[in-house]
């Protein structure tokens, strides 16, 4: 059966992946309310369509940080993608580039930055977690600069990992503990097992390189989870500036006051985000915050958002409420997990087609001209 929607690709990914891998992709914090609201909040925003408008041609293009994009979308940073496919980040970068979109490489990536650079055919951005030993982040930024990465996203909503009950239910640890339950789970997914058996379990190779550690997932996971810098403050944006000569974007903003502080301390943009509902349960959704944040800082910096983008119409709603762009997290991973690189490309193509149809039916053929008069609360 053809996979017509992002939800179809999600279902296909669930069939192909062992439960522990799918739950890592899909799971949220605690009872999953924040993650569920990320999607449902879009359903409370309606459109105000106009008729008898010339919609023969549709313009969905955008400009972000001097880069011309096919639509105001980036393939956002996600970690441990090698759980779903080997060479995951290379494939995501190629899919994004072919779609005319940036790809954001995570600190927790499983493909070496040099390999991603060689594979990419579009803009590359870097997502950064800061460990207690800041030399790791400094090496990471230096390597990214040398590889032509242009935009830095500093993630600020993860001083600790959120409470993720599915980890405990599935016995998910790094490295994996080979329990009878886990072995049975893997045995029921032979295609994933064969692929992983050939290529081996993923490693956070860039983190290992920059921390000068051996390629051992246990050590890498400890560096990520136990050595996150919990003393990071707004004044540390100045430290980042000394090591990054491009735009610095603060990712993980969850209130209007912090958006104002980001502007005050010289950020070049913000990403409204509750980390895909994986961190603080009952944190606000980005789409709910968007209009108020744009009113507070609009015009002074780009305001991006993520969380719950499963339809092209969601992109239109975000732009109408003032977003300069959106980041995709789970959606392209569903395509990658179920259909490899071609699946990731198809998910991006689905969102593009849906966005084009939305603009035509809305009677607003130029995406960047959308405004609040084009949406309503329902």
Q: Which string of b and e fits 263-272 if b means at least 16 CB within 10 Å? A: bebebbbbbb
> What average pLDDT score do residues 118-131 get?
96
Please report the pLDDT score of residue 214 as a whole number: 62
Reported as a single tens digit per residue, the pLDDT across 311-322 is 999 999 999 999
Q: Which residues contact 147 (CB under 8 A, 6 or more apart)?
A: 113, 114, 116, 117, 124
- Which of 148-157, 193-202, 271-280, 297-306 shows the lowest mean pLDDT across its residues? 193-202
Please report the pLDDT score of residue 223 as a whole number: 58
Confidence check: pLDDT of 228 > 90: no
Q: What would you report as the CA-atom Rg of the chain, rounded to the nearest whole angstrom?
A: 20
* 132 to 129, 138, 220, 280, 377: CA distances (angstroms): 10, 12, 14, 22, 44
> What average pLDDT score do residues 87-112 get?
97
Reported as a single tens digit per residue, the pLDDT across 59-98 is 999 999 999 999 999 999 999 999 999 999 999 999 999 9
What share of the chain in percent tops pLDDT 70? 93
Please report the pLDDT score of residue 281 as a whole number: 92
Please report the pLDDT score of residue 209 as a whole number: 80
Give the active site residue among 189, 199, 243, 275: 275
Q: Which residues contact 16 (CB under 8 A, 6 or more apart)?
A: 189, 191, 192, 337, 338
CATH fold of 6-377 reads: TIM Barrel (3.20.20)
Query: Among residues 225, 112, 103, which one has the least CA distance to residue 160?
Result: 225
Relative orientation angle of helices 286-297 and 256-264, to the nearest 10 degrees: 40
Q: Is 199 assigned a catalytic role?
A: no
Please report the pLDDT score of residue 217 as a whole number: 59
Confidence check: pLDDT of 376 > 60: yes
What ranges do the domains of the chain cover?
6-377
C-alpha neighbours within 13 Å on the C-beta side of residue 209 = 18
Instruction: Give, for 290, the enclosing helix (H) or strand (E).
Output: helix 286-297
d(CA 124, CA 147) in angstroms, rounded, equals 9
Confidence check: pLDDT of 160 > 90: no
Q: Which residues contact 58 (CB under 8 A, 6 or more apart)?
A: 356, 359, 360, 365, 366, 367
Confidence check: pLDDT of 239 > 90: yes
Confidence check: pLDDT of 182 > 80: no
Query: Among residues 359, 375, 356, which one has the least CA distance to residue 48?
Result: 375
Q: Which residues contact 177 (CB under 8 A, 6 or more apart)?
A: 171
Query: Among residues 235, 211, 66, which one has the least CA distance to residue 156?
Result: 235
Confidence check: pLDDT of 236 > 90: yes
What is this structure's pTM? Answer: 0.94
């Amino acid at each position: 059966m053809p996979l017509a929607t992002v939800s179809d690709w999600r279902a296909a990914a669930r069939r192909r992946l062992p439960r522990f891998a799918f739950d890592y992709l899909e799971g949220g914090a605690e009872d999953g309310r924040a993650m569920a609201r990320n999607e449902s909040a879009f359903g409370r925003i309606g459109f105000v369509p106009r008729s008898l408008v010339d919609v023969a041609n549709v313009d969905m293009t955008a400009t972000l940080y001097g880069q011309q994009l096919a639509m105001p979308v980036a393939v956002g940073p996600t970690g441990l993608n090698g759980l779903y496919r080997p060479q995951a980040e290379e494939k995501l970068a190629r899919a994004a580039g072919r779609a005319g979109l940036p790809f954001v490489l995570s600190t927790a990536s499983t493909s070496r930055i040099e390999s991603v650079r060689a594979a990419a055919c579009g803009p590359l951005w870097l997502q950064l977690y800061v460990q207690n030993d800041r030399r790791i982040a400094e090496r990471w930024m230096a390597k990214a600069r040398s590889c032509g990465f242009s935009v830095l996203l500093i993630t600020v909503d993860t001083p600790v990992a959120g409470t993720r009950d599915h980890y405990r239910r599935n016995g998910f640890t790094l490295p994996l503990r080979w329990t009878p339950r886990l072995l049975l789970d893997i045995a029921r997914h032979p295609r994933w097992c064969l692929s992983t058996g050939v290529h081996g379990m993923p490693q956070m190779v860039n983190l290992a390189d920059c921390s000068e550690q051996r390629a051992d997932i246990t050590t890498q996971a400890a560096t990520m989870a136990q050595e996150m810098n919990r003393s990071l403050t707004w004044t540390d944006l100045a430290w980042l500036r000394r090591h990054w000569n491009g735009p610095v974007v603060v990712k993980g903003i969850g209130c209007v006051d912090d958006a104002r502080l980001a502007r005050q301390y010289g950020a070049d943009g913000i990403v409204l985000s509750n980390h895909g509902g994986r961190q603080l349960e009952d944190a606000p959704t980005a789409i709910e915050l968007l209009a108020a944040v744009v009113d507070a800082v609009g015009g002074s910096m780009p305001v991006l958002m993520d969380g719950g983008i499963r339809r092209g119409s969601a992109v239109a709603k975000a732009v109408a409420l003032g977003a300069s762009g959106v980041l995709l997290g789970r959606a392209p991973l569903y395509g990658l997990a179920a259909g490899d690189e071609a699946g990731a490309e198809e998910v991006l193509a689905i969102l593009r087609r849906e966005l084009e149809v939305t603009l035509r039916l809305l009677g607003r053929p130029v995406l960047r001209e959308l405004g609040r008069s084009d949406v309503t609360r329902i």
